[in-house]
Amino acid sequence: MSPPPQLYWRKFTRDGTLDQDNLADGKFLAENFTDFFGRWLQEGDNSKVSTCHDLVMKFLGADGNNDNPKCDVNTFAVADAGWFSRKKRPDWTWLTPSLRFLTVVKLNHKESISTSPDEWTLFIVGSSRPTNKYKFLQRHTFEKETPSEYQAWNYFGHSRDAFGDASYLGPFNGHVNGACIMKELHEPWMHWLGNETSSFKNALSPDDIKEFQNLPWITLEDDDPLSAINTNPGDLEDDIKRGVDRWFDTRRLLDYFSSSGQIKENPSNLPRWVAHLFLTTTINIGSALSNGSGGKYILPPNHLYDSELLSTVSTNLMPKLPQILFDESDYKQAVKNLQLCILVLADDGEKADITLPWNFLGGDRRDDPKLENLRFMKLQENSEGLSPFNILHASHEDALGVQKMQSIQKLPDSNSTAPESFIGLFSAQTFNAIMMVDFWNPIYSWKRGILMQYVPLDTRFDGKEYDLDARFVQKVKSSPNAKITDTPEYEFLQLLDAKPETHQKAILAYFEAIQARMKKDPVGTLEDYLTLAESRRRIYRPLPLDEFGPTMPFALKYPDPNVPMYLEMTPNGTTRDIPPRGRTFLSKWTSTLSGVDPQILPSKEDEPSQAPVAIDALPKPSGLAAPCQATMSQGGSGPAKGCPFMSAKSTTKTTNGNTSAKVASVLLTPKKSPNWTDDILPLIQTPYWASGDPAKKGQGWIAMMIKWGNWNLASYDDVKERAVSIYRHLRTTSMPITGNPQNYWPEEALETFRNWVNAGFPRDSSDSPSPEILIPKPIDAQETFKIRRDIMSLSREELAVYQSKLDDILQVGALGSKWQELGQLHAYWCLHYQEATFLWHRAYLLYVEKLIGFPIPYWNGYASEAADPTSSFAGIPPMFLEDKYIHPVDKSERPNPLKFALALNGHSKSGKGEFVTRSSTLTEGPSSRHWKRTIGLFKLYHRQIEHALRQSTYTSSHTAENSGVPWAYITTFSDHQKNKLYPYRFDFDGLFEQVHDNFHGWVGPDMADNTYTAFDPIFLSYHANMDRLAGIFIDAHPESQFTSGFPLQPFINNGTDISYDDPRRWCYTTIGDMAKDTRSLGYMYSAPASPDVATPQSATEQGIVSPRASGGQAISLPAGIPGHPEAKQGNGAIKPTTASPVEKEPFIVFTGVGCTTSSYRIDVFTATAQSLVPDITTNPDFIGQVTRIGMGRGRQGDGPPNSGRCRKPAATRVLPAGEFKEKLSEGSDVKIVVTNLETGEEVAEQEYVKMPGFTPKVVWLAK
């Protein structure tokens, strides 16, 4: 039996050696083979597919009729010489049109290149022999003699990171690594099979026809070859443009925004973004279009200026320009004068027309790598192929990159008629000046390329704008060339102060000059412009990944490859040789692009041919982990800092994780050594990054260390003596002791402290450093933490990012969406009335966060102000009630997904519409007559939460020893409990779930039914807060015991994925996996916007360094039994003890509580109550409320199938009634009112007594 195929990943070595193919181990697969195709490759025998045809058929269906209804399969065809007719040279049997196929596979009836994680688009690239093995992208052999069973896939997994080890920084894909590229993006799509181009029929050989005839995705049954091909390349153009647009949106979010949606203070990958404006990082291919009359054509605008960019970016620069027309006859004469032709490699038996260096036309077509030259012959003479005036022009990718960096965030404008304005890297004035530098040369402009060296490597956002613009202008002004005419520096500075009208006049004058030339000497002018096109082709062709041999023409008038051809357009419409400075720049830059280590960024003029920032010195974007969310400074001096848990990544980080020493010495070495007086003491006394008042925070730290450590943080000698230990505690976040992650020391402060120690502890600026490395440079922490923030603390922009995730990814307003699947997952699988309840929901939240890539903000119903009817924290948070929000990417106004979320199958529990509904009192707000009563219930809920948090155990088992019988299992109660039941014990989980149910019923109606509840977005934020409070309890009780192996189905991989039907119970996430410090699960909580009522101290605050291990006993003996520590040993007899009177207090207890279908509210009153209105503010006899959340009837009334979601035996619910001690004498009873939350009707006693756990009992227990 042959071994299974293996999967590999390729690392580009960039040193002239062969690229490295690495076997993808389990860890690599989990981290990188994460998209649809990466997962698909690992399923079944999919990785054994070795032909393009077999791969396509996996999605099309066995008979070619698309039997797989899930997939839409669409194939396009492109050929370099598809226009060539074999009838002209039937003897050229060796000639191939270089036909390739591109198949686009997506989910049926779905948009291609979707942003939804549940939708995908697959591009399959194949050669002219789709049935040949290994003849398509990413599938190849390693050894010629290796049997086919051992062949391997080489797959890169995702294209988000264009700057990492798996990206190739050539001019084609250095910016959109992994994306499908269509270089002939616009009409007329010269070489694509289409109605307006060519049928390819006459170019096909008999072998081609035979190959294609039996492939149903290429040729329809009983039809002509290629009849199944999509002949509208415009469809593919839409897919490509959509894909590139969404790639840039993702790149912009990662580089410019924090995970909370705020603009980063320091964006990432800045030089790569700016390169799209100053350089030609890639090209598109275009040609002239007919104007539809009398043999006239339109001179391609992109040949004259960057029409691609200026039609994409909003600017006031462009005037209305006329079309430049030319006659076909004049064009043909100019082509003949230049001897333009299409070349193809000559067959061994044919006479060559020209011999050129092997790389002169791009690509490596050598059979023997030792060959220096290749022989070419003319495929077509005095012609450019199918379409006239072939040009290279500025790319859609560069244009889109500029558009994204100039529209990072929309600025608010009260004037609706004014043009939209955005925060961008450059001001409109500077942007226009840059565009006007060498305006007439849209690609390979040496002048704009030279200006690139003045762009700073980083920038800072001050809340209003970036400082990049001002620093760039200043650096140009400081250049020695700034006052020398005819230099790019001088030209830019002259243009900087010009008004838009001045720019427009220059552009119009340029076009008028072209028109005058065309009118006076059309053939000579066209010859000049076609020669300019040839020059630009020759700059481009030697660069890597140019495989357009017979696609683009070659001018035999200039046959000598040893004579460089560097031409440029001038403002008067003429062409000229590029001056020496420009030729030097282009030569050095393109030589780095075409080398073994291609560099997009050009080197500075005073440096050797190395990029000013080596590509491997650029910061690698965060991988698959969610970026850390920034926190905001609320006081004190100093810059706002980012996430305090993630080491600040310097721009010197290499893609391999190494550090560039050259750049590091510039960025990391301080200008002066820190000293105690000026640098360290201020960090301690007034920590600028801390929440609240920094001075007060610092004084608190100092006081705590004096109290607990008996030493002074404000003392130079004390800190110096303990400096290394202090640093270690600070870096590991064991200092300061805080519940707010914002208070931890940021990387910049830690580095300042470390440098002070290593400089010999200078006391003040007069001290001379005495360097000694006491604290080595730390290894960057690998962890990043998501920070779940109080939803009331989010800015409008931060909130919009979260809303957009629900909108775009989960599609809360659509049937058949991921949102509907999530709601049903909860309805069918959630666990209640048991230890696993809140830990199951913890896994659920982690799964949702993995889907949306964003931390869920929490709604703090435990805030003290939440019980105040006049507070802004009362009721449902306002963002859940608003109708609209502004999408953070496209700035469109959209329905608010926090309000307009589709209920189960589009039918609310209330029956009032398709969206989830909430209590009318809460949606009406303070104007509702029941507002105060409804908000007042929070006082009861807060008491219940506080009661739960005061307990000492999370949960109990039947056989708990030494602590009495767990509360949930006291099955009978009397006024005088037997002593053997003492001391009784409450458990956190049961008490906490009880109040949890109350909140659900309070929000209602959808939240009040378990089948419907998870379809309301408030469910996520509510449960995030319950998870926060449960985490506080777990952290305060590190010795808690759990049923660690209990599976929390259907979650796997620590809650980040699901499996509904895996029989391997061991693979599911367990209680033990979830019952941990949240940091071990990758997230933390920020402090609430309004303080909690009360919370227990954390283990650290209690001084618990680590929990004590227990167990090892063979038996535990009760008190009074010989061998127990309390047993008296005199004469071997046990002396009787005298019990002191026990003070008791009343509790209202419901036993035998089990699951119900409907949801109910039980309001409890004293037996003598005159009013049965559940209003804590007006009714002195209202004891409290118990909500029983029903499991619901399930979808279409079937009921959820998972019968194990409720614990058996039944649980107990309890209301503390100590405040009613005088009204609840021993032996008394209480009154209850049971309300069906589904119908709003009161349930008669004779009905509710039939249901489990609805009859209360007053129980007196020891206080």
The structure tokens 């450019």 sit at 384
In this structure, what CATH number is given to the domain that contains residue 1226? Answer: 2.60.310
3-state secondary structure (DSSP) of residue 1080: helix
CA distance 539 to 730: 55
Please give the helix or strand (H or E) that residue 422 lies within, else none: strand 422-423
- 678 found inside a domain: yes
pLDDT at 195: 58
The answer to whether 166 and 151 are in contact (CB under 8 A) is: no
The answer to whether 76 and 229 are in contact (CB under 8 A) is: yes
Are both 414 and 456 inside the same structural domain?
A: yes
- The stretch 927-944 carries a mean pLDDT of 91
pLDDT band with cut points at 50, 70 and 90 for residue 198: low
Q: Which residue has the higher pLDDT, 1129 or 932?
A: 932
3-state secondary structure (DSSP) of residue 783: coil
Handedness of CA 1077, 1079, 1083, 1084 (dihedral sign): positive
- State the alpha helices, DSSP H only, in 317-461: 328-338, 396-405, 428-436, 446-451
Are both 820 and 743 inside the same structural domain?
A: no
Q: Which residue has the higher pLDDT, 869 or 113?
A: 869
Q: Which of 68-82, 537-551, 705-719, 863-877 is the least confident region?
A: 537-551
CA distance 763 to 741: 30
- 648 found inside a domain: no
Are both 132 and 179 inside the same structural domain?
A: yes
Q: Looking at the DSSP assignment, which residues form a beta bridge with residue 569? A: 575
- The stretch 535-556 carries a mean pLDDT of 76
Written as six digits, the tokens of 523 are 């053939």
- 635 found inside a domain: no
Q: Which of 3-7, 80-84, 442-446, 993-997 has the highest mean pLDDT?
A: 442-446
pLDDT at 1138: 44
Residue 380's closest CA among 130, 540, 551, 254?
551
- The stretch 635-651 carries a mean pLDDT of 27
- 372 found inside a domain: no
- pLDDT tens-digit series, residues 451-501: 999 999 899 999 999 999 999 999 999 888 898 888 999 999 999 999 999
CA distance 75 to 225: 13
pLDDT at 619: 28
pLDDT band with cut points at 50, 70 and 90 for residue 835: confident
- The stretch 256-275 carries a mean pLDDT of 90
Are both 940 and 1051 inside the same structural domain?
A: yes
Crossing angle of helices 500-520 and 428-436, rounded to 10°: 20
Over the range 449-474, which residues count as b (16 or more CB within 10 Å of their CB) and which as e?
bbbbbbbbbbbebeeebbebbebbbe
Written as six digits, the tokens of 19 are 């690229």
- Among 539, 574, 593, the domain-final residue is 593
pLDDT at 1163: 94
- The stretch 684-697 carries a mean pLDDT of 86
- The stretch 35-39 carries a mean pLDDT of 77
CA distance 578 to 27: 52
pLDDT greater than 80 at residue 1178: yes
CA distance 78 to 97: 9
Written as six digits, the tokens of 1003 are 């929000």
pLDDT at 843: 95
- The backbone torsions φ and ψ at residue 297, rounded to the nearest 5 degrees and listed phi first, read -125, 160
pLDDT greater than 60 at residue 262: yes
CA distance 850 to 838: 18
The structure tokens 């069918």 sit at 828
- 815 found inside a domain: yes
pLDDT at 40: 83
pLDDT greater than 80 at residue 513: yes
Total-model pTM: 0.51
pLDDT at 861: 94
- pLDDT tens-digit series, residues 886-895: 999 888 899 9
pLDDT band with cut points at 50, 70 and 90 for residue 550: low
- The stretch 214-225 carries a mean pLDDT of 90
CA distance 100 to 1: 36
CA distance 698 to 677: 15
Q: Which of 213-217, 362-366, 1126-1130 is the least confident region?
A: 1126-1130
Number of domains in the chain: 5
CA distance 113 to 1189: 41
Percent of the chain with pLDDT over 70: 78
pLDDT band with cut points at 50, 70 and 90 for residue 535: very high
- The stretch 652-674 carries a mean pLDDT of 37
The CA-atom distances, in angstroms, between 385 and each of 294, 388, 551, 1255 are 21, 7, 8, 90
Are both 667 and 760 inside the same structural domain?
A: yes
pLDDT band with cut points at 50, 70 and 90 for residue 23: confident
CA distance 790 to 1087: 7
Are both 186 and 321 inside the same structural domain?
A: no
- 97 found inside a domain: yes
pLDDT at 470: 95
The answer to whether 789 and 849 are in contact (CB under 8 A) is: no
- pLDDT tens-digit series, residues 1002-1055: 998 899 888 899 999 999 999 999 999 999 999 988 888 888 888 998 999 888
What does the mean pLDDT of the chain come to? 79
- At CA 546, angle to CA 255 and CA 326, rounded to 5? 100
- pLDDT tens-digit series, residues 895-913: 999 999 999 999 998 888 8
How many Cα atoms are found within 13 Å in the side-chain-facing hemisphere of 455?
Answer: 29
- 478 found inside a domain: no
- The stretch 226-242 carries a mean pLDDT of 89
- The backbone torsions φ and ψ at residue 1195, rounded to the nearest 5 degrees and listed phi first, read -65, 130
In this structure, what CATH number is given to the domain that contains residue 1020? Answer: 1.10.1280.10
pLDDT greater than 80 at residue 170: no
Are both 436 and 550 inside the same structural domain?
A: yes
- The stretch 625-635 carries a mean pLDDT of 26
- 926 found inside a domain: yes
Q: Which residue has the higher pLDDT, 700 or 138?
A: 700
The answer to whether 748 and 674 are in contact (CB under 8 A) is: no
pLDDT greater than 60 at residue 1168: yes
Are both 190 and 212 inside the same structural domain?
A: yes
Handedness of CA 708, 714, 719, 724 (dihedral sign): positive
pLDDT greater than 50 at residue 636: no
The structure tokens 């940021």 sit at 746
pLDDT greater than 50 at residue 975: no
CA dihedral 839, 840, 843, 847 (to 10 degrees): -160
- Among 206, 224, 243, the domain-final residue is 243
CA distance 192 to 88: 21
pLDDT greater than 70 at residue 1165: yes
- Among 1049, 1066, 1085, the domain-final residue is 1085
Domain holding 1247, by residue range, is 1144-1262
Are both 922 and 999 inside the same structural domain?
A: yes
- The backbone torsions φ and ψ at residue 1049, rounded to the nearest 5 degrees and listed phi first, read -70, 145
- The stretch 333-345 carries a mean pLDDT of 93
What do you get for the CA distance between the two ends of the chain, in Å? 72
pLDDT band with cut points at 50, 70 and 90 for residue 850: very high
Are both 1153 and 1019 inside the same structural domain?
A: no
Residue 75's closest CA among 244, 233, 225, 196?
233
Number of residues that make up the chain: 1263
pLDDT at 631: 26
Are both 1072 and 1056 inside the same structural domain?
A: yes
- The backbone torsions φ and ψ at residue 378, rounded to the nearest 5 degrees and listed phi first, read -80, 120
- The stretch 980-985 carries a mean pLDDT of 39
Q: Which residue has the higher pLDDT, 690 or 151?
A: 690
Query: Using a CB cutoff of 8 Å and minimum separation of 24, what contacts does 745-750 make?
Result: 745/644, 745/683, 745/687, 745/689, 746/641, 746/642, 746/644, 746/648, 746/689, 747/646, 747/647, 747/648, 748/641, 748/648, 749/683, 749/687, 749/689
- pLDDT tens-digit series, residues 432-449: 999 999 999 999 999 999
Written as six digits, the tokens of 60 are 């099309």
Are both 694 and 576 inside the same structural domain?
A: no
